[in-house]
Amino acid sequence: MKTLQRVIPAQRTSDGAGVSLYRSLGQSQHVRLDPFLMLDEFGSDRPDEYIAGFPPHPHRGFETVTYMLEGHMLHEDHLGNRGHLKSGGVQWMTAGRGIIHSEMPQQESGLMRGFQLWINLPAAEKMKPASYRDIDAAELPEASFEDGSWVKVIAGEVQREGKTLAGPIQGLTTDPLFVDVRLPAGGRFEQPIKAGYRAYVYVFEGDLAADPGSSLDRLLPARHGGCLDGEGPVAVQASESGARFLLLAARPLGEPIVQYGPFVMNTRAEIEQAVADYQAGRLAG
Ligand code: FE
């Protein structure tokens, strides 16, 4: 099975117009897991920590996946696309050549909680037209199991106790697996991972236990991510507190990365072009 190679404690930071969040992958250019560039967890019941949202900003060269656990977010871009992201739903945005958008909370009180994941695009796809998929919670397969565990699949496929859960996102070059798993105390979860893919586990409730029969040789508490390497499946076991975590895996691109904020390209010249295009108002062509 895969083994734990590195533990990444999420760092508390803020982004956009003061949205409080915990950044896991993407804290620096040394904290990535090809093709995953960034993973943010946002979660607060204090409106002043989220209400100002993410006013208009650009992206080029990658995909953003926003998964809401609680709360509502309105998305609008400069091409006139509008989407309303609700609890349990996902927005899968392929920025491609470019998009300028805003992501604004649609509630003035209560809990706002979710994730944003950035997935790199291969060089050959970085300049394709921007596109979206808004996926309602009802379109995302989920199931509860006899041991008290629960699994929801956003991308890729999970087979457990004779059930197959196939996420709505298929056919991408990076072939991502993106799964939300809740385990009861002592509950186990095992997932085969395709050869050559690395995996990332991000715990956001409870703890995953250190166990010789699992991929983890150290306790992985909430707001900690683990990079898993080697061949075979990922196997984890919840501690006595139970655990909820995201499991990510994908085909690595193995291409050079040059990032300047929300532009992620392969060369410095392409970054300079992105900045010039943005300043000239032709980011999206
Ligand atoms: Fe954005």
Query: Per the structure block, which two tokens stand in for 127?
Result: 């300049």
**pLDDT tens per residue across span 133-171:** 999 999 999 999 999 999 999 999 999 999 999 999 999
Distances (CA, A) of 132 to 81, 82, 210: 9, 10, 39
Q: How far is the CA of 138 from the centre of ligand 1 (A)?
A: 24
- DSSP codes, 110-138: S-EEEEEEEEE--GGGTTSPPEEEEE-GG
Q: How far is the CA of 109 from the centre of ligand 1 (A)?
A: 22
Instruction: Specify if 221 maps to a domain.
Output: yes
pTM of the predicted structure, to 2 decimals: 0.97
Q: How far is the CA of 193 from the centre of ligand 1 (A)?
A: 29
Task: Look up the CATH number of the domain holding residue 32.
Answer: 2.60.120.10
Helix or strand or coil: residue 73?
strand
Q: How far is the CA of 59 from the centre of ligand 1 (A)?
A: 7
Instruction: Specify if 193 maps to a domain.
Output: yes
Instruction: Specify if 279 maps to a domain.
Output: no
Nearest by Cα to 9 from 188, 185, 219, 182: 219
Instruction: Specify if 180 maps to a domain.
Output: yes
Provide the number of structural domains found in the chain.
Answer: 1
Instruction: Specify if 257 maps to a domain.
Output: no
Q: How far is the CA of 199 from the centre of ligand 1 (A)?
A: 24
Q: How far is the CA of 178 from the centre of ligand 1 (A)?
A: 19
Q: How far is the CA of 16 from the centre of ligand 1 (A)?
A: 9
Q: Which residue segment(s) compose the domain that 212 sits in?
A: 3-250
Q: How far is the CA of 66 from the centre of ligand 1 (A)?
A: 9
Give the span between the Cα atoms of 201 and 235, in whole angstroms: 10
Instruction: Specify if 87 maps to a domain.
Output: yes
Instruction: Specify if 262 maps to a domain.
Output: no
Nearest by Cα to 176 from 268, 253, 256, 70: 253
**pLDDT tens per residue across span 219-258:** 999 999 999 999 999 999 999 999 999 999 999 999 999 9
Max intra-chain CA distance, the chain: 57
DSSP β-bridge partners for residue 118: 38, 64
Instruction: Specify if 271 maps to a domain.
Output: no
Q: Is 146 exposed, middle or buried (0-12, 13-18, 19+ CB in 10 A)?
A: exposed
